[in-house]
Structure formats: C-alpha cells, structure tokens
Amino acid sequence: MPDTHSPAIRSNQPADAHAAVYRYDEFDKTFIFERVEQFRAQVERRLKGEITEEEFKPIRLMNGLYLQLHAYMLRVAVPYGMLSSTQVRRLARIARVYDKGYGHFTTRQNIQFNWPKLEDVPTILRELAEVDMHAIQTSGNCIRNVTTDQFCGAAADELVDPRVYAEILRQWSTMHPEFTYLPRKFKIAITGSPNDRAAVQVHDIGLIAKKDEVTGRVGFTVYVGGGQGRTPYLAVKARDFVPVEEIIGYLEAILRVYNQLGRRDNIYKARIKITVNEMGADKFIGLIEEEYARLPRQKFYVDPAIVDAIQTHFAPPPWVDLPAISDSFEAAKAADPAFARWTRTNLTEHKTPGYAIATISLKPIGGIPGDAEADQLETVADLADLYSFGEVRVTHEQNLVLAHVRKDDLYPLWKALDAAGLGTANAGLISDIIACPGLDYCALANTRAIPVAQRIAERFADLDRQHDLGELKVKISGCINACGHHHVGHIGILGVDKKGEEFFQILLGGDAGTNAALGEIVGPGFDYDGIIDAVETVVNTFVKLRQPGEIFIQTLARTGHAPFKEALYARA
C-alpha cells in the first residue's frame, strides 16, 4: 500500500505534520482570532450605518472582501503559496458550505471564492483562523501577500529558502501601522534562486537572493518600481546587495518614501512604478538611501535568531535515501504513453535523489483556468497526504504543486489525478493559460477572458500538437489592469471594449522569467471569434519559422515580430 511510505502515518502524527507551512504560535493565534472579531464588529457597524460604504470599503478590502459583478468575492491568503492538506480540506469545506462548491486560484498564489454573503464572511474568516489562515491584506492599498517561487525548498538551484523571508515580511507587513493607507496596493515578490520563478521584476518590490562572493553573506538584490497594469514597467535595481539582517529596515525606507511622495491625486498614477519613473530612478533611489541612512536601524535588525526560529517551520520533510533512478517509474513511462507525456511537462527536478516535483494542472482542456471543485481539492489533499508529506503549493500560474513525490509514486499519483480531471499533461504549454476572471465575474473588466482561454485550449486540444510546440505561455487580461499578466505572456491577449463589443489585442514577446520582458502590441485587435484564428496564425507562423529545438520565444527573438505581423495582417 502506498500509505506505508508516509513516515508521518507510521508514527501516528497527522499526515501533514511535515508540511512546510508556518504554524501559528500563541501570539499569532491571539492575533488572528482578535482580527476576526474586529471584522465581525466592523460588519455590524456597517449594517447599523455607523460607518458609510466609502469608509467600510477599504476595511472589507483589507479583509479580502470585494464586491464583484454578481456577488461579493472573498480572496483568502495563501502565504507564499504554501498549504497543508488540513488547510486544503478547510478550503474545500468553505467552498461547499458558504460558496458554490468551488474556488479559484489566482496569479498571486491565493484562492478566491466568488459567492459569499457579507453576513457569512466573519464566520468564514473564523473557520480559516482555526487552520492558521486568513484573508488579511489580500486587497486594499496596503502591503499584499508576499509571493515566491513555487518550487522553494525543493528546487536544486536554490540559494536560500525564500519562505523564511516571505514569512518574516508577512508578519512585518501585517497591520503595519504606518503603511496600511498607502497611495495604492503594494506587491512584493521574493525568489531564493537566481532563476526567477516569481516574476520579481514586475512587482512593486522584487527580491532576488544573492550570496556575496567575498564574504559569503546572504542577502538580496532589491528591485523597485515594477508592475503591470495600464503602464507596465520592469523594476529598477535599487541595491545590488542588502544583507538579510537589514532587509526590513531597507523596505521600511522604501515604503516611507513611497507613502510620503507617491501620487494620491490619480488612482492610475498612484503605484510606486509611476513615482519612480516620474521622479527618475536615480533620484528615487537617492531618497531611499537617505531615508535608510537615518532610520533607527537597530529597531529593524533581523536577528539571525528569528530567522532560525522561523526556519524550523520550513524544515525539509524527512526524505529517505532512494536510488536516483526508479525502475517502476521507468517501466510505467515505457508502458503508458499518456503518463510518459505528463512526465515530460509536469515534472521538475528535485534536489533529492529519487524524488520529483509534480505540477498539478488546473487547466483541463476547456476548463476554467485556476478553478478547482471542492471534491478536487479534497482529492489533492488526500494525494498530498499519501505522496507528498501533506503539503500542497499554489503557483502564480494558477496550478498546484506536490513538491516531494517519490519517483516510485508518480504513476499511481498521476492515475489518481487523471481520474479527478487533474492529470492534464500541459504545464508550460499553450493550454496552460493564465487568464483573469474577466467580465464573467469582475466589475472592472472590459471583456471576458476565461472563454478566450477555453477556446484557445480547445483549438489546440491535441496534446501531441501542444507538446510539439513546446513551452509557450499565453496570458489573457480582460482589461488594461492586466490581472491576466498579458504584458509578460509569450503571447499576450488584452481585451478592449470597442463600442460595446469585445475586441482582443495580441502582444508578442513578453517574458515573466529571469529574462523579464514586456510584450509589444502587434497591431489592430480581433473580434471574439477572430482572436482564436489569430492565435493559431501566430502559432503556425512559429512552426514555419522555427529551427530545431527552438521554443516560441526563441524563434520570435531571432526573427523579430515582422513575419508574425505579416501573417496576421497580410490579407488586410
């Protein structure tokens, strides 16, 4: 039986005892329940009319509660994407009891529920608090959930475990007395590896771990002023190296400069990227440095003791010694081509011999990107308990990850996933699309995005064709706020409202990875039916032009946009 693999089960511990989630201490627990009661009282004051909707709105947003097109929406924080199976089961329960039986994973590694009632939300938050979860600062003009690399703690190329610092930043930013009424929202991403899997350069602050070659000290390269939205910017480097002990002080300096000088006269110019670019990066960085030089740094010194204390929450699970090659895995691949295909896209190398990182696609062909039914969440929780120390991760590409699977277990894992509609072999391929909720749910959107993603996936439903195309990242936003990351898609799609009709522009050449780049609009937009043909034209052009071994973005870089434009607009 596979469950004998689990050391936790053998020792009568909970199956997720080794899941690398931050487990609350008495202070955290006191805080989280006080916060729930605070929100309950705030809702009561709102219902009694003691505070206006205008005043209540930022309060509910800072507790994750939006008002969308059809209903309220509650965005629950998944700190740096890490969940235990207990937490996943609680999310499934919330979906079933208080919502409509499903949840939607977001590009910031969170999960949202689309149909909660205002009067139920304090109770939902209490249910979350019981499993060390919350919805704090998942919206509003404050420091948001810190995101990171979904492969942290398992990837072979990691310098430091970013979760430790992401957790420190989560605590530091929680109800920060000075930085909770910022000009605009503020997003921090952190990666512990020089290979950026967290898109740090399109964040307000991006941190990339770095080791000082001379001293051996660990710290971060700090980027500031990146972002997508209607005016996308890649972040500029503020400092090449800030030692980990000084990182909170340095962030305090950045936030203070921004809080004082960021624009408050125009919501579209209020993000730090605008401040940086209007002022000039050099001047802005100069102000940060001045502020940092005079801050009471002692007060913000990150003692190695706190790093050690938090590190214990992210201790590696008890991997066992295994041969690097699993005979049963190799045999299953040889016997089952569908499984073999999944292993080509949905597995990533683990740093420990005999283990692999498995990506669970939430992008079944024709499905809604990032949606998971309550039953599916429970299946994932069960499989995590059986095969991956009870731990589940959310990726910014709206998929899930089991990070520590024995190669011997991959075949039964995939069979179980496949039976639950979670076994699609498309991670990183053309149907692994990021799409914002768009006009199907969002009150701000101009066009729908989900059905465009569905129809692209259906057009390329043939998995052999997708595998032949190789890595190709399609990202779709239903308005210029760019929640679907269209600026950094290899193929980006932006929905625009043209006299009440949905139109879609194509961008080419964006990249969210280590070589971050913003895509460029190729030309006039396409209508709702035409956009799918247009994407196929782009793809067919790539197939015609590619040289052996090239992926889309490489071919595009080599040929430039001209042949693609020509193919798209030649007939006009």
Partner 1 sequence: MPVLDRGLPIDDRWTDLADDQDIPAEGAVIVSLERWRTERDALTSRRDAVGVRLKSNQLATEIADDLGSLSLVALEFPKFRDGRAFSAARELRERFDYKGEIRAFGHIIPDQYLFLTRVGVDTVVVPADRVGPAWAHALKEISVAFQPALGSEEGTSLLRRHLKGTVPA
Partner 2 sequence: MLVKAKGTQQSVAASRLLDGEAVWLGTGNIWVEDVAQAAVFDGADAIAEALAFAKAEEKRQIVVDVYPLDVEITEAGTRPTHLRERLKGIGPTVRRDLGKQARQPAA
The option from partner 1, partner 2, none interacting with 545 (CB < 5 to 8 A, set by class) reads none
The option from partner 1, partner 2, none interacting with 312 (CB < 5 to 8 A, set by class) reads none
Give CA separation, 447 vs 83, 84, 125, 520, in Å: 32, 35, 31, 20
Pick from 91, 450, 482, 534 the residue near partner 2 by CB under 8 A.
450
**Cβ(142)–Cβ(185) below 8 Å:** yes
Closer residue to partner 1, CB minimum distance, 35 or 407:
35
The option from partner 2, partner 1, none interacting with 418 (CB < 5 to 8 A, set by class) reads none
Distance between first and last Cα of the chain: 63
**Least CB distance to partner 1 at residue 138 (A):** 17
Q: Which residues contact 173 (CB under 8 A, 6 or more apart)?
A: 137, 142, 143, 146, 179, 188
252, 240, 244: which is closest to 291 by C-alpha?
252
The option from partner 2, partner 1, none interacting with 451 (CB < 5 to 8 A, set by class) reads partner 2
Please report, as ranges, the residues that interact with partner 1 according to CB under 8 A.
25, 27-28, 30-31, 34-35, 37-38, 41-42, 45, 50-51, 55, 58-59, 141, 168, 171-182, 248, 256, 259-260, 264, 294-296, 298-303, 305-306, 309-310
What contacts 24+ positions apart, CB below 8 Å, involve 256-263? 256/178, 256/179, 256/291, 257/284, 257/287, 257/288, 257/291, 258/182, 258/183, 258/186, 259/178, 259/179, 259/182, 259/183, 261/287, 262/182, 262/183, 262/184, 263/183
- 3-state secondary structure at position 36: helix
Helix (H) or strand (E) holding 156: none
Pick from 159, 302, 340, 444 the residue near partner 2 by CB under 8 A.
444
Decide if residue 16 touches partner 2 (CB under 8 A): no
Closer residue to partner 1, CB minimum distance, 293 or 562:
293
Secondary structure, 3-state, 334-369: HHCHHHHHHHHHHEEECCCCCEEEEEECCCCCCCCC
- 3-state secondary structure at position 488: helix
Closer residue to partner 1, CB minimum distance, 83 or 307:
307
**Least CB distance to partner 1 at residue 35 (A):** 7
In a 10 Å sphere around its CB, with 0-12 CB exposed, 13-18 middle and 19+ buried, how is residue 119 labelled?
A: exposed
Pick from 3, 53, 55, 308 the residue near partner 2 by CB under 8 A.
53
**Least CB distance to partner 1 at residue 260 (A):** 5
**Least CB distance to partner 2 at residue 47 (A):** 6
The option from partner 1, partner 2, none interacting with 241 (CB < 5 to 8 A, set by class) reads none
**Beta-strand pair 102-105/111-113:** antiparallel
Number of shown-chain residues binding partner 2 (CB under 8 A): 35
Closer residue to partner 1, CB minimum distance, 165 or 355:
165
Q: Which residues contact 90 (CB under 8 A, 6 or more apart)?
A: 127, 128, 130, 131, 133
Stretch binding partner 2 (CB under 8 A), from 47-55, 337-345, 346-354, 407-415: 47-55
Site for partner 2 in 469-528 (CB under 8 A): 479, 497, 500-502
CA–CA gap between residue 238 and residue 175 (Å, rounded): 25
What are phi and psi for residue 158, nearest 5 degrees? -85, 135
CA–CA gap between residue 239 and residue 159 (Å, rounded): 18
Pick from 3, 119, 157, 527 the residue near partner 2 by CB under 8 A.
119
Site for partner 2 in 360-419 (CB under 8 A): 368
Closer residue to partner 2, CB minimum distance, 101 or 524:
101
Pick from 49, 216, 296, 548 the residue near partner 2 by CB under 8 A.
49
Decide if residue 71 touches partner 2 (CB under 8 A): yes
Q: Which residues contact 262 (CB under 8 A, 6 or more apart)?
A: 182, 183, 184, 270, 271, 272, 274, 275
437, 327, 376: which is closest to 91 by C-alpha?
376
Stretch binding partner 2 (CB under 8 A), from 263-271, 436-444, 483-491, 551-559: 436-444
Decide if residue 47 touches partner 2 (CB under 8 A): yes
What are phi and psi for residue 53, nearest 5 degrees? -60, -40
* Per-residue binder mask for partner 2 (CB under 8 A), 76-105, x = binder: ------------------------x-----
The option from partner 2, partner 1, none interacting with 42 (CB < 5 to 8 A, set by class) reads partner 1
Closer residue to partner 2, CB minimum distance, 121 or 257:
121
Pick from 115, 159, 194, 563 the residue near partner 2 by CB under 8 A.
115
CA–CA gap between residue 338 and residue 470 (Å, rounded): 16
The option from partner 1, partner 2, none interacting with 58 (CB < 5 to 8 A, set by class) reads partner 1
Sites of contact with partner 2 (CB under 8 A) = 46-49, 53, 67-72, 100, 115-119, 368, 439-441, 443-448, 450-451, 454, 479, 497, 500-502
